[in-house]
């Protein structure tokens, strides 16, 4: 494929981008984007043939890898039959996609509402919770990202919320994070106990009868791959039951194989009332997301009109891509591969890196969902500077690895199809880049 590439096309693509494309979350003048010509599996490449091992999964969404033939074939077959149809109609691809998702979620869930992506999945889950409880307020954590639309961005806890606080009825709390504990804990058990006590006090102080939902990323992703300590999610479930609050698990990033489970919550044995999804359900080949709805909440709208919808809800090409992706993930054991990679290769390999490099303060993760928390000093746990992170990114990219960087962290998030050999290549590159940067300190 690389012998068909024309570097002039890469120059044209770059020039067109800089002249006409407005990029997200960026000051536009300083941008110098990579120009990607193609991809396959866990690799992407530029028009000059430069190849990169993609350990970002783009935005942690290409769980099945780039250009998987089963997904492409499913889209092509659907395109030959029907490219688009209004959501008020019934469509075979849409129904098959919903059936497969519900089969993975379990019998307690009854319907799927399809959206265009993860942000509007969270929007509509919030709407469902408000309508079924008759309450307004939504609680979410400060270390979170839920999307860039009205309610979703205000539910988000990180800095991106602050310039966008136009939606009503949101309050935030601190979730557990033992490495940087807000609760002065000295064990996972104490972190769970104190975080749950804090949450209950927030519920009581905000007024339990005013709270429609608690919205949590099952494993917060952009905030740092924060695996919840034992008992925490069970405790949140119990608080929701006690106070009549809908529990929404945002699985947009952590779902569909990322943690080595079909849904991350299945690894913790805690069932939510609503699940939001996108990204890994079809690896982003066509934009789609949705809400998996419990039987009780779905039944509430049997006679009551649900006041929400989107022109492209359950778009046939996107639905077909879900069918193709989930069928391939099942038949090829891709979720099992993600669990094995995390257990046998990524987890141990990253731990070895941490033992070697003082910049790595903590390694945490599951499956193919990991983070290296980088610090100036292991004792103070002071995060490294943005300048050092930029140096590290350059060192990784020049060695042929496409990283996912956030704040003071390297998120190690390859596709679920990644092989042991590819993990070994990536670990060697991380090692070399860290060694180079540490030598200059």
Q: What DSSP line would sit under 320-389, residue for residue?
A: HHHHHHHHHHHHTTHHHHHHHHIIIIIHHHHHHHHHH-TTEEEEEEETTEEEEEEBS-TTT-PBPPHHHH
Query: Cα(208)–Cα(191) distance, rounded to whole angstroms?
Result: 23
Does the pLDDT at position 1 exceed 60? no
pTM score above 0.95: yes
Residues 349-361: pLDDT tens digits?
999 999 999 999 9
Q: Which of 331, 351, 375 is the last residue of a domain?
A: 331
Does the pLDDT at position 3 exceed 90? no
SS3 label, residue 294 = strand
- According to the model, what pLDDT value does residue 441 have? 86
pLDDT average, residue stretch 7-13: 97
Structurally, the chain folds into a number of domains equal to 2
Q: Which of 310, 331, 352 is the last residue of a domain?
A: 331
Do 283 and 399 share a domain, yes or no? no
Do 62 and 75 share a domain, yes or no? no
Range of the domain at 344: 2-67+333-439
Q: Which of 308, 331, 354 is the last residue of a domain?
A: 331
Do 180 and 36 share a domain, yes or no? no
295-298's contacts with Cβ under 8 Å and 24+ in sequence apart are 295/108, 295/109, 295/110, 297/128, 297/129, 297/132, 297/246, 297/273, 298/110, 298/111
Does the pLDDT at position 274 exceed 70? yes
Residues 60-102: pLDDT tens digits?
999 999 999 999 999 999 999 999 999 999 999 999 999 999 9
CATH number at residue 171: 3.40.640.10
CATH number at residue 363: 3.90.1150.10
Contact 427, 349 (CB under 8 A): yes
Does the pLDDT at position 224 exceed 80? yes
pLDDT average, residue stretch 126-131: 98
Do 243 and 354 share a domain, yes or no? no
pLDDT average, residue stretch 138-166: 96
CA proximity to 248, closest of 107, 138, 173, 174: 138
Residues 333-379: pLDDT tens digits?
999 999 999 999 999 999 999 999 999 999 999 999 999 999 999 99
Burial class (CB in 10 A: 0-12, 13-18, 19+), 159: exposed
Do 115 and 192 share a domain, yes or no? yes
Q: Please state, rounded to an integer, the average pLDDT across all residues of the chain.
A: 97
pLDDT average, residue stretch 256-265: 98
Do 269 and 134 share a domain, yes or no? yes
Q: What percent of the chain clears pLDDT 70, i.e. is strictly above it?
A: 99
- According to the model, what pLDDT value does residue 179 have? 97
- According to the model, what pLDDT value does residue 4 have? 83
């Amino acid at each position: 494929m690389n012998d068909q590439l024309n570097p002039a096309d890469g120059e044209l693509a770059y020039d067109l981008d800089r002249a006409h494309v407005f990029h997200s979350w960026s000051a536009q003048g300083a941008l110098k984007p990579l120009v990607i010509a193609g991809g396959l599996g866990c690799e992407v490449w530029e028009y000059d043939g430069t190849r990169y091992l993609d350990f970002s999964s783009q935005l942690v969404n290409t769980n099945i890898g780039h250009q998987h033939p089963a997904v492409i074939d499913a889209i092509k077959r659907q395109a030959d039959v029907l490219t688009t149809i209004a959501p008020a109609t019934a469509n075979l691809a849409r129904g098959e996609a919903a059936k497969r998702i519900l089969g993975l979620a379990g019998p307690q869930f009854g319907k799927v509402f399809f959206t265009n992506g993860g942000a509007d999945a969270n929007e509509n889950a919030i709407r469902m919770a408000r309508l079924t409880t008759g309450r307004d307020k939504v609680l979410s954590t400060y270390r979170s990202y839920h999307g860039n639309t009205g309610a979703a961005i205000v539910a988000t806890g990180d800095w991106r919320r602050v310039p966008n606080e136009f939606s009503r009825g949101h309050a935030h709390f601190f979730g557990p994070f033992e490495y940087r504990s807000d609760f002065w804990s000295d064990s996972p058990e104490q972190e769970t106990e104190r975080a749950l006590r804090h949450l209950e006090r927030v519920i009581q102080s905000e007024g339990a009868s005013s709270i429609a939902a608690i919205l949590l990323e099952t494993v917060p992703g952009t905030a740092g791959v924060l695996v919840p300590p034992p008992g925490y999610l069970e405790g949140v479930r119990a608080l929701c039951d006690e106070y009549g609050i809908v529990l929404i698990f945002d699985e947009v990033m952590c779902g569909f194989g990322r943690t080595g489970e079909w849904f991350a919550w299945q690894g913790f044995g805690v069932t939510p009332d609503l699940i939001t999804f996108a990204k890994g359900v079809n690896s982003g080949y066509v934009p789609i997301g949705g809400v998996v709805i419990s039987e009780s909440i779905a039944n509430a709208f049997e006679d009551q009109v649900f006041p929400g919808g989107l022109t492209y809800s359950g778009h046939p090409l996107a639905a077909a891509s879900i069918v193709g992706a989930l069928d391939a993930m099942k038949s090829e054991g891709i979720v099992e591969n993600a669990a094995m990679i995390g257990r046998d290769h990524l987890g141990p390999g990253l731990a070895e890196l941490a033992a070697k490099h003082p910049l790595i303060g903590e390694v945490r993760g599951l499956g193919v969902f990991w983070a290296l928390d980088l610090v100036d000093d292991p004792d103070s746990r002071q995060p490294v500077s943005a300048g050092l992170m930029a140096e590290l990114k350059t060192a990784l990219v020049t060695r042929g690895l496409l990283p996912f960087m956030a704040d003071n962290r390297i998120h190690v998030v390859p596709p679920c199809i990644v092989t042991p050999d590819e993990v070994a290549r990536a670990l060697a590159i991380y090692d070399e880049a860290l060694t180079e940067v540490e030598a200059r300190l």
